[in-house]
A and B are shown apart, each in its own frame.
Chain A
């Protein structure tokens, strides 16, 4: 009688190909979802006030961040914005162009408000020590431009239980 030999057993090991497929899919998903390097236009070096209340703004595409810096010896603050691909562009509250008084900040806000409608919002990012004398000029410009949604950038603080 012929002997039937069992075939040689080879070490199979774990097939990692499907694992790599799944992991690659997850990586692609997180690359698309994660907001890495997305600029909000806010200057993080500004020491904003600290509050325990606040809401995250998810619709930053319809928001214009105004970074305010106090100007020594001047009533109005320096305003820097990220606008149309140009980073830290200075916008003045008012300027003299060829003998004519213009209001660049107000005009920009009006144009954006017209373009984006009611969803348009302004984010004010200023140092906590800034005086209201300078801040109110920016708020007035927003009001004159018809911007009704003005938000104030603050730093989160650990939640205190209000009395």
Chain B
């Protein structure tokens, strides 16, 4: 007896593609998100070699010569969290701020602008960081960053003996 209302079976329906599409979409989203990872590290660039005019023990014949520094910044670590940066004018910046409230970035920017005001380009102003042997790397990088923020393109290091 033929059962009425039964659906005709389609033998040519093929495999069900829906789960495949789901998996493929998940893989695609994973790859799109993964591509943006791994960019967490960034770098402070320096294109100046270490200055030969320092107090450290360097064989002068082996170090490329650099012109005399024009802007020296003396950096010393007071504690593990505090540091002092001093410019040639004697003003001391504790953690980048002077007692007057002026920041190291502002002071360096003024120096750079004054240098450019003499008709010279900023890349002829050579900033040389003069740390002590005990100066912490972190504090040195903070001063380095301040010089970069002040848009001084040439920043180098002086060797230290004490």
Binding site for B on A (CB under 8 A): 10-11, 16-17, 19-20, 23-24, 26-27, 30-31, 33-36, 38, 40, 42, 49, 51-57, 121, 123, 126-133, 135-136, 139-140, 142-144, 146-156, 162-163
Contact = CB atoms under 8 A, between A and B. Distances in A.
B108 to A, nearest CB: 10
A26 B133 CA distance: 54
Contacts of B10: 10-11
B40 interface: yes
Given A55-B45, A131-B136, A136-B56, A162 B105 contact: yes
Contacts of A162: 103, 105, 149
A35 B80 contact: no
Given A51-B145, A133-B160, 7 more contacts: A20-B21, A36-B34, A131-B136, A132-B131, A153-B41, A154-B41, A155-B41
Which of B18, B21, B49, B106: most chain A CB closer than 10 A? Answer: B49
Given A27-B27, A154-B141, A162-B149, A51 B44 contact: yes
A136 B40 contact: no
How big is chain B's contact interface, by range?
35 or more
Interface string B32-47: 1011001111111111
Q: Which 7 pairs, one residue from A and one from B, show the smallest C-beta to C-beta distance? A: A54-B42, A128-B138, A34-B35, A30-B31, A133-B133, A143-B49, A151-B43
A148 B47 contact: yes
24 contacts: A17-B17, A20-B20, A20-B21, A33-B35, A34-B34, A35-B35, A42-B41, A51-B145, A53-B148, A56-B41, A128-B136, A131-B136, A132-B133, A132-B140, A140-B56, A142-B49, A143-B49, A148-B47, A152-B44, A152-B144, A153-B41, A153-B43, A162-B103, A163-B106
A121 B64 CA distance: 16
B58 interface: yes
Contacts of B43: 54-57, 123, 151-154
Contact of B138 (A129, A139, A153): A129
Grouping DSSP codes into helix (H, G, I), strand (E, B) and loop, the B interface class, with mixed when no group exceeds half, is mixed
B62 interface: yes
Given A123-B43, A152-B141, A154-B141, A38 B38 contact: yes
Interface in B22-70: 24-25, 27-28, 31-32, 34-35, 38-50, 56, 58-59, 62-64
B159 interface: yes
Nearest to B102: A163
